[in-house]
């Protein structure tokens, strides 16, 4: 059975890089891997989801309702939106950031209160963290994705060295030091 990860967020938050990083680490660890991405229109500020699956053998590249072992959410409302994809007993890690979708900005809809409580009430194992502050501490608000990958890395059986190698291979050299720091901060948080 493949281990299934969903990475969800808002277009522009860097979810694609996160899925590539995780996929790369799994390949290094010798697993069969499939990663499914979404390009094009929904990348422009829409709700975006990418899937990473690994194991001895992976057939479908997508994760369906009730199948995700781990959901890594870059934004709180998106965590709630994609919760039905979490497997019973699965783990949900979410950035606590709020980004209003356009219907909320225009006043046509309301951003719900108490999202974390509602997710927990539905029986999900939720870890909520301020990944933006950790990213800023690492040197850039843009490093939120690598912080979150660091947190998620702790949920896997892949050694830290493999993860660090993937960060080195995946991010642009110019931002390597900052991203390594972001990964370390996330990795340390994931231990809590």
Nearest residue (CB) to another protein, 85 versus 189: 85
Separation between Cα atoms, residue 148 and residue 179, nearest integer Å = 11
Number of residues counted as binding another protein (CB under 8 A): 66
Window contacting another protein (CB under 8 A); options: 95-103, 146-154, 156-164, 181-189: 95-103
Q: Does 64 bind another protein (CB under 8 A)?
A: yes
Q: How far is the CB of 163 from another protein (least distance, A)?
A: 15
Distances (CA, A) of 152 to 83, 90, 120: 17, 13, 19
The verdict on 176 binding another protein (CB under 8 A) reads no
Compute the distance between CA of residue 179 and CA of residue 158 in angstroms, rounded to an integer.
Answer: 19
CB 44, min distance to another protein, A: 4
Are 153 and 23 spatial neighbours (Cβ–Cβ below 8 Å)?
Answer: no
Half-sphere exposure of 18 (CA within 13 A, CB side): 35
Q: What are phi and psi of 5, to 5 degrees?
A: -120, 135
Binding site for another protein (CB under 8 A): 10-12, 20, 23-24, 27, 32-47, 58-62, 64-67, 77-78, 80-81, 83-88, 99-112, 115, 118-119, 121-124, 132, 141-142
């Amino acid at each position: 059975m493949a281990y299934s990860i969903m990475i969800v967020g808002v277009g522009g938050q860097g979810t694609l890089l996160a899925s590539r990083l995780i996929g790369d680490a799994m390949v290094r660890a010798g697993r069969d891997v499939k990663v499914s991405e979404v390009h094009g229109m929904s990348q422009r500020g829409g709700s975006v989801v990418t899937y990473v699956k690994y194991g001895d053998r992976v057939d479908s590249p997508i994760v369906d309702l009730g199948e995700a072992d781990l959901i890594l959410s870059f934004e709180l409302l998106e965590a709630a939106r994609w919760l039905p994809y979490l497997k019973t007993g699965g783990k949900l890690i979410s950035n606590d950031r709020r980004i209003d979708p356009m219907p909320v900005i225009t006043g046509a809809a309301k951003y719900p209160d108490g999202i974390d409580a509602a997710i927990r009430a539905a029986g999900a194992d939720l870890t909520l963290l301020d990944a933006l502050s950790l990213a800023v501490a690492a040197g850039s608000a843009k490093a939120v994705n690598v912080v979150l990958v660091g947190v998620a890395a702790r949920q896997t059986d892949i050694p830290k060295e493999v993860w660090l190698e993937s960060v080195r291979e995946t991010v642009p050299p110019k931002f390597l030091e900052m991203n390594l720091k972001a990964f370390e901060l996330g990795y340390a948080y994931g231990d809590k």
